[in-house]
């Protein structure tokens, strides 16, 4: 993947992460299925890890 593709992937992952935030909040406020909430939280953590990996790759190492 080149940098442009990684940037697009990063944006998509961030959007999906925000969407999961909204879904978790909606399920939590309505007293939804706790198992479903736990699965969504796990997916959100996986997305956060993927976002961090891509951001680390795109950010150059600067030694000060």
User: Residue 24 in contact with residue 41, Cβ under 8 Å?
Assistant: yes
| Closest alpha carbon to 51 in 13, 12, 6, 22 | 13
Per residue in 15-30, pLDDT (tens digit) is 999 999 999 999 988 8
- pLDDT for 64 equals 62
- pLDDT for 32 equals 78
Residues of the chain with pLDDT below 50 are none
Distances (CA, A) of 38 to 21, 34, 44, 48: 12, 6, 10, 15
Q: Please tell me the pTM assigned to this model.
A: 0.85
């Amino acid at each position: 993947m080149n940098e442009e593709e990684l940037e697009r992937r990063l944006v998509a992952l961030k959007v999906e992460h925000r969407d999961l935030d909204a879904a978790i909040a909606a399920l939590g406020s309505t007293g939804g299925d706790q198992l479903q909430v736990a699965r969504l939280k796990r997916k959100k953590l996986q997305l956060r890890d993927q976002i961090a990996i891509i951001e680390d790759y795109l950010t150059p190492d600067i030694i000060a």
